[in-house]
Chains A and B, each alone.
Chain A
């Protein structure tokens, strides 16, 4: 279970305050959507969950399964089950996607004190998951994210998620840069991973992603605070009326 308690955070470099007291509880098996206008702090929240050191937490805590994430390095958080699907996945030149997947999976297994996966077993897992996401062997041989189209990058993110089997998945604007067909493939990939032991925090600007990944709870983030919480209908309301009402309410 994820509990965010009165979280305040600022940009480390210039001290600009971004998050101003966020409270959020995500139970196992739940999908929470976080929506909000540009600059409301959505992406910052995702980075802070994953532990990017560009930000400083000044107050509050993030507790995951009883442990404060703030004390853990990014790789330790990953081993504890936290996964961030990036809005802009990073290129790693010269490193075949397959190599990257294997290195990441084995690093996490090692951190958890598990045996490394044998190559045949690893290949089997990759092939199964890749097939579901319409990822070809050819793509797996290419360097990670280098020259990938927008859709390929997002599918590669979901493939990593499927392979690493995290328990807390944070999706940062996964729908950006996707056409309708790619959106469907990616959403199906996410939906396959839904289960009683896995929680999702889905950050999005638009409602359309939520047609495919139907959330249990929708939050509206504005100026670093959650200003409204509701069911899936809230997303539809936002789509119709825009964020203006909530921004005014928060002001």
Chain B
């Protein structure tokens, strides 16, 4: 059975989800029919009111995509995806949300509770219809928060909007940078995304501006149903700084099994971009069925001198994760960083890592990867560090640690190191360890339960990366990791 069909059938069998995600609703006029062809792409482009060049760009990507084959080199296994069995466009709000929290999956609510998410936010996350939301004081009123937020950004000259809006309001900026980091032809999923992406974020920070606040997708209104093909573009002009937070620690379910996002970052001279992700998509049920496939292309271009791009990610969800946030260190003295925590449990499969491509002189990069495997999961770190001929004095430090919990999981490390410049210095350290019975017994003897003991040991293991996250994210991420590993021992 094709994977998509399997998910749909499964979700249908659960009452709550059936209601929540509205599989049964009749096809509305705002929904393109299943399948992919040039007409669908024209439909998407027209719906979004895009300029002609954008449509051409999409069509070119689609024609290219038809000639490509799905990559098979990653250490992941999944049933063949039927790309003609997917809806590529459906207008937001085509499915009604639950009327109140009483109608939301109690399991989902229990997890929100554990994460300590306020009631008001729970409603937003669970997609409760706005008119039915509990009225609370102004502090938690998301509308006023968003408004204040937008005004402050405007004052600073920062553009932060959906990419559709950017295409209408700032087409020249989008045209200049879109596809300049991840070319249309880059890889199978990125090419597909280029053809059919429906929405995503756009950020532009002008020269010399330090973005006055952390930008979070949470604050981007109209975010409902951004769909499975998200496109994000962030540009930091000379001397600019921006920190961007993507995702949410709360569990997210989605009727779309296949997700293929593209994120492009451009940092010009002396600019810095910090991009943090917490990914907690539905990982599948206890038998490993139905989880999200996450095939993401994320790349940052340190285009200017002394520029810096830093990726921090906490990956706990998705059935399959295929993701390599990378840095092209083009500008002299530029710096790339990658901090990652990848947690897999149940039947999850993760093949993730980074690429640090040193092109400019005196470029440096740092990779800290912490993989935690439990249950029957497989967790692979795959990373490339390369120095090109002109990259004199390139420096890299890589530390890759794996932690195994239980007997049936796997951890794999696949580093690729290429140096074409004799002055480059690359260091690679890797460890694999298990939570030992002795450690567990020691913690239990001091009064910790099985789960408290695992959480404590794991938090110690990931400490180096957690410290890189913005403060408010760090605490949530720690809790999230503990929750993801619940039931992994005993």
User: Interface of A with B (CB < 8 Å)?
Assistant: 50-54, 73-75, 77-79, 83-84, 86, 89-95, 99-100, 103-105, 107-108, 111, 143, 160, 164
Question: A79 contacts B447, CB within 8 Å?
Answer: yes
Question: A75 contacts B456, CB within 8 Å?
Answer: no
Question: A92 contacts B443, CB within 8 Å?
Answer: yes
Question: A164 contacts B456, CB within 8 Å?
Answer: no
> Taking A104-B447, A107-B448, A107-B449 as contacts, is the C-beta distance between A74 and B441 under 8 angstroms?
yes
A105→B456 CA distance, assembly (Å): 13
In the complex, per-residue mask of B437-455: 1 if CB is within 8 Å of any chain A CB, else 0: 1110111111111101000
The segment from B168-176, B341-349, B459-467 found at the interface with A is B459-467
Q: A52-B441, A74-B445 are in contact. List 11 more A-B contacts (CB 8 A).
A: A75-B447, A78-B444, A78-B446, A78-B447, A90-B438, A91-B439, A94-B459, A95-B457, A103-B448, A105-B447, A160-B446
Question: A100 contacts B456, CB within 8 Å?
Answer: yes
Name B449's contact: one of A75, A90, A99 (CB within 8 Å): A75
A68 to chain B, nearest CB (A): 18
B415 to chain A, nearest CB (A): 22
Question: A93 contacts B460, CB within 8 Å?
Answer: yes
Question: B447 contacts A107, CB within 8 Å?
Answer: yes
Interface residue tally of chain B, by bracket? 20 to 34
Residues of chain A contacted by B443 (CB below 8 angstroms): 92, 104
Question: A95 contacts B445, CB within 8 Å?
Answer: no
Name B452's contact: one of A51, A79, A84, A107 (CB within 8 Å): A107
Question: A92 contacts B460, CB within 8 Å?
Answer: yes
A108→B445 CA distance, assembly (Å): 10
Question: A90 contacts B447, CB within 8 Å?
Answer: no
Would you list which residues of chain B between 396 and 454 have a CB under 8 Å from chain A? Answer: 436-439, 441-450, 452
A103→B456 CA distance, assembly (Å): 8
> Taking A104-B447, A164-B447 as contacts, is the C-beta distance between A86 and B442 under 8 angstroms?
yes
Instruction: List 28 interface pairs A-B (beta carbons < 8 Å), by A numbering.
Output: A51-B444, A73-B444, A74-B441, A75-B448, A77-B445, A78-B444, A78-B446, A78-B447, A84-B445, A86-B442, A86-B445, A89-B442, A92-B457, A93-B460, A93-B461, A94-B463, A94-B464, A95-B460, A100-B446, A100-B456, A103-B452, A104-B443, A104-B446, A105-B447, A107-B446, A107-B448, A107-B452, A160-B446
A103's closest neighbor in chain B, by CB? Answer: B456
A11→B443 CA distance, assembly (Å): 22
Question: B444 contacts A75, CB within 8 Å?
Answer: yes
A80's closest neighbor in chain B, by CB? Answer: B447
A42→B447 CA distance, assembly (Å): 23
Residues of chain B contacted by A94 (CB below 8 angstroms): 459-464
B446's closest neighbor in chain A, by CB? Answer: A104
Residues of chain A contacted by B462 (CB below 8 angstroms): 94
Question: B459 contacts A90, CB within 8 Å?
Answer: no
A83→B450 CA distance, assembly (Å): 17
B464 to chain A, nearest CB (A): 8
Residues of chain A contacted by B464 (CB below 8 angstroms): 94
User: Interface of B with A (CB < 8 Å)?
Assistant: 436-439, 441-450, 452, 456-457, 459-464
Question: A92 contacts B447, CB within 8 Å?
Answer: no
> Taking A95-B460, A103-B456, A107-B452 as contacts, is the C-beta distance between A90 and B439 under 8 angstroms?
yes
Name A104's contact: one of B448, B459, B461, B463 (CB within 8 Å): B448
A94's closest neighbor in chain B, by CB? Answer: B460
Name B446's contact: one of A52, A73, A91, A164 (CB within 8 Å): A164
B274 to chain A, nearest CB (A): 23
Question: A95 contacts B438, CB within 8 Å?
Answer: no
A137 to chain B, nearest CB (A): 19
Which 4 pairs show the lowest CB-CB distances between chains A and B?
A94-B460, A95-B460, A108-B447, A104-B446
B436's closest neighbor in chain A, by CB? Answer: A90
Residues of chain A contacted by B448 (CB below 8 angstroms): 75, 103-104, 107
> Taking A90-B439, A90-B442 as contacts, is the C-beta distance between A95 and B459 under 8 angstroms?
yes
A100→B448 CA distance, assembly (Å): 10
Residues of chain B contacted by A52 (CB below 8 angstroms): 441
Residues of chain A contacted by B452 (CB below 8 angstroms): 103, 107
A103→B460 CA distance, assembly (Å): 13
Most buried by A among B437, B447, B448: B447
A94→B456 CA distance, assembly (Å): 9
Question: B456 contacts A92, CB within 8 Å?
Answer: yes
A199→B481 CA distance, assembly (Å): 39
B85 to chain A, nearest CB (A): 45
A75's closest neighbor in chain B, by CB? Answer: B444
A92→B454 CA distance, assembly (Å): 11
B362 to chain A, nearest CB (A): 32
A224→B443 CA distance, assembly (Å): 27
Residues of chain A contacted by B459 (CB below 8 angstroms): 94-95
Residues of chain A contacted by B456 (CB below 8 angstroms): 92, 95, 99-100, 103
Residues of chain B contacted by A53 (CB below 8 angstroms): 441
Residues of chain B contacted by A77 (CB below 8 angstroms): 445
B337 to chain A, nearest CB (A): 20
Most buried by B among A90, A92, A94, A164: A94
B457's closest neighbor in chain A, by CB? Answer: A92
Residues of chain A contacted by B445 (CB below 8 angstroms): 50-51, 74-75, 77-78, 83-84, 86
A203→B437 CA distance, assembly (Å): 23
A79→B446 CA distance, assembly (Å): 8
A51→B442 CA distance, assembly (Å): 11
Residues of chain B contacted by A79 (CB below 8 angstroms): 447
B439's closest neighbor in chain A, by CB? Answer: A90
> Taking A100-B456, A103-B456 as contacts, is the C-beta distance between A74 and B444 under 8 angstroms?
yes
A90's closest neighbor in chain B, by CB? Answer: B442
Residues of chain A contacted by B446 (CB below 8 angstroms): 78, 100, 104, 107-108, 160, 164
A107→B439 CA distance, assembly (Å): 16
